Amino acid sequence: MNTFAIISLSAIFLYLAAAVSRLYRINSIVLSPKSILLLLGGLAVTLHALVLYQSMITPLGLNLGFFNAASLIAWVIALLLLLSLPRQPIDNLTIILFPLAALTIGLEGYFHTERIFSEETEWGVRLHIFFSIFAYSFLSISALQALFLALQNYKLHHKHPGWVMGKLPPLQVMETLLFQMIALGFGLLSLSLFSGIVFLDDLFAQHLVHKTVLSILAWCVFAVLLWGRIRYGWRGKTAIRWNLSGFLVLMVAYFGSKLVLELILHRL
């Protein structure tokens, strides 16, 4: 077994161990449950970064093929979660997002796809990619937050709290965190679209038009949601539906277009 495989398997194991430690609230004499989660998650994210470096950095340039891009976004999401954990009560998101990060490492190692950005790629295009990745990452976290909020709402209305209510923060805190993530993601998505308009040669070229139109549609959905929150105080089911709708459109815009172009049409 080569070094790359060992690092990949170690990162997968650590992600899964971190998720299990949160699910079962593993404790020790020395470390609190959150400290254990941060330690395991921090090691997993570090090894994941090494995996990304080895698979994305090539002699021809940066490889952002379909599975590499998915792994990179999963890494950014995991990193953002770890940085937010000491200040925000979002521990439970790791139960789902860490195993997803582990899955992307496995897929990245098993399937090889290429979408090379050479060293000559303009800095404006790189900036556009940066904004796009971070926008998608924040809005992914908000989508998962919305799913937990939907579950929390369901349990409250049906008076069956179970273990879910005991592990989640109060409903008002969950909603506040949700809109914080949406606002950050929306701001980055705005910068992504603006940088695309400024720095890409033709944002509505044949191979980009679907991605562009769907990204603009997703931007409109999130804009309406934030406006509704400010103007009418939208919350609960209304906020959840708008948020998940916007995220699904954005997911199709990014991964749908990459899936068709790279894996089906084999266009780089």
Detail the DSSP E strand segments found in the chain.
57-58, 61-63, 116-117
Using the predicted structure, report yes or no on whether residue 28 has a pLDDT greater than 60. Answer: no
Least confident of 45-54, 112-121, 133-142: 112-121
Is residue 159 very low, low, confident or very high in pLDDT (cuts 50, 70, 90)? low
Residues 72-98, mean pLDDT to the nearest whole number: 89
Residues 188-215, mean pLDDT to the nearest whole number: 81
Average pLDDT, the chain: 85
Q: Six-digit token pair at 122?
A: 């303009």
CA distance linking residue 44 with residue 79, whole number of Å = 10
The pLDDT value recorded for residue 102 is 96
Q: What 3-state DSSP class applies to 57? A: strand
Is residue 207 very low, low, confident or very high in pLDDT (cuts 50, 70, 90)? low
The pLDDT value recorded for residue 4 is 85
The pLDDT value recorded for residue 74 is 95
The pLDDT value recorded for residue 158 is 67
* Percent above pLDDT 90 for the chain: 45
Using the predicted structure, report yes or no on whether residue 238 has a pLDDT greater than 60. Answer: yes
Encode 194-235 in three state secondary structure.
HHHHHHCCCCCCCCCHHHHHHHHHHHHHHHHHHHHHHHHCCC
Using the predicted structure, report yes or no on whether residue 223 has a pLDDT greater than 70. Answer: yes
Where in the chain are the domains?
1-120, 122-268
The pLDDT value recorded for residue 134 is 93
Per-residue pLDDT reduced to its tens digit, 250-265: 998 887 766 665 555 5
CA distance linking residue 148 with residue 164, whole number of Å = 9
Give yes or no for a contact between 229 and 180, defined as CB atoms under 8 angstroms apart: no
CA distance linking residue 247 with residue 253, whole number of Å = 10
This prediction has a pTM of 0.85
